[in-house]
Amino acid sequence: MTTVDPRADLSALHGPDGSGPTFVLGQYVSLMKPRIIELLLITTIPVMFLAQQGVPDLWLVVATVVGGTLSAGSANTLNCYIDRDIDAVMHRTSNRPLVTGTVTPRGALLFGVTLAVVSTVWLGVLVNWLSAWLALAALLFYVVGYTLLLKRRTAQNIVWGGAAGCMPVLIGWSAVTGSVSWSAFILFMVIFFWTPPHYWPLSLRYKDDYATAHVPMLPVVERFVVVAKQIVAYSWAMVLTSLALIPVQSMGWVYTVAAVVSGALFLAEAHRLLSRARAGVAEEALRPMRLFHFSITYLTILFVGVALDPIWHLPLPGLG
């Protein structure tokens, strides 16, 4: 019988270079993927302004942001725990803590589960239980639905798995109103359609990485021109859905201009990628990361419009 030394995990208190708890804390925080969480906050906070039709209570915003951050951090940590075998063979993810050994699998699992429990209780007690259950549903869908069931089995993984990333708009809306609405659902669908044209360009850039890890991202299993066509289709669906919010929520000029201008630029970039793919340019000349980076700018502009429109409401003719 093998005896496990209970002191073994204590080595995680120090990094491989002899650094102490601060280093280890940074490694655990990196498991939460803070840069991804930033995108979630870009969508959560503006929706709270829209739901309030003005500036929401500051404490409510802080409580929602903290709870949402912990919940998303849990989902990302558990994703790293499950995908540590994939991360080890992909160049882009080879420096993650579970690959380098600066965090143990057991430590990551305990950290992820703890964050899930704390975030759910935090949101339930300090915000409301609808927001808490929505956050927990998003967490479970991302971990179970996307990471465990979809990611390694279908090229449509990011399409359906991306639904978890749409939930912050519902959480933000429910935090203010205690309910959800058609306006929140429209913004949910905007992010749903945004996810493939945001992520597939990144998958194009790292196609070989995904192929090595046997992850069937769309660019791995389809020709680039097919991927580009789907990117364009989802981009059009995204922009048209963003415009549907105007009559439903009686949005004014601020949001309308933000949605039209940023949407037009997004479509232009998506069609530019398709044109290059149809022309048969070399893989490195496709420059898919242009669209990837602009997709983040697009989401930021659109949701800044969502936040500012109820504050500086300039009504459109006929919409009041």
Q: Does residue 7 fall inside a structural domain?
A: no
Q: What is the CATH number of the domain that holds 148?
A: 1.10.357.140
Task: Phi first, then psi: give them for residue 236, nearest 5 degrees.
Answer: -65, -45
What span, in angstroms and rounded, lies between the C-alpha atoms of 219 and 207? 6
Q: Does residue 38 fall inside a structural domain?
A: yes
What span, in angstroms and rounded, lies between the C-alpha atoms of 22 and 37? 21
End residue of a domain, out of 146, 179, 212: 179
Q: Does residue 102 fall inside a structural domain?
A: yes
Could you tell me the residue range of the domain that residue 197 belongs to?
A: 181-320
Alpha helices (runs of H) in 90-152, residue ranges in sequence order:
97-100, 105-126, 129-140
What span, in angstroms and rounded, lies between the C-alpha atoms of 66 and 208? 36
Mention every residue, 6+ apart, whose C-beta is less than 8 A from residue 276.
228, 285, 286, 287
Q: Does residue 16 fall inside a structural domain?
A: no
- Are 103 and 31 in contact by the 8 Å Cβ rule? The answer is yes
Q: Does residue 107 fall inside a structural domain?
A: yes
Identify whether residues 104 and 213 lie together within a single domain: no
List per-residue pLDDT tens for the chain, 320 residues long. Answer: 344 444 344 444 455 444 578 888 999 999 999 888 888 889 999 999 999 999 999 999 999 999 999 999 999 999 999 999 999 999 888 899 999 999 999 999 999 999 999 999 999 999 999 999 999 999 999 999 999 999 999 999 999 888 998 999 999 999 999 999 999 999 999 999 999 999 999 998 888 889 999 999 999 999 999 999 999 999 999 999 999 999 999 999 999 999 999 999 999 999 999 999 998 877 667 788 999 999 999 999 999 999 999 999 898 987 65
Identify whether residues 32 and 71 lie together within a single domain: yes
What span, in angstroms and rounded, lies between the C-alpha atoms of 246 and 260? 11
Burial of 8 (0-12, 13-18, 19+ CB in 10 A): exposed
Q: Does residue 23 fall inside a structural domain?
A: no
Q: Does residue 11 fall inside a structural domain?
A: no
Radius of gyration of the chain (CA): 21
Q: Tell me the torsion sign for CA atoms 306, 145, 202, 75.
A: positive
Identify whether residues 295 and 157 lie together within a single domain: no
- Are 296 and 43 in contact by the 8 Å Cβ rule? The answer is no
Identify whether residues 172 and 186 lie together within a single domain: no
End residue of a domain, out of 145, 179, 213: 179
Q: Does residue 71 fall inside a structural domain?
A: yes
Identify whether residues 174 and 40 lie together within a single domain: yes
Identify whether residues 215 and 198 lie together within a single domain: yes
Q: pTM for the whole thing?
A: 0.90
Residue with tokens 């360009």: 201
Count of domains observed in the chain: 2
- Are 108 and 100 in contact by the 8 Å Cβ rule? The answer is no
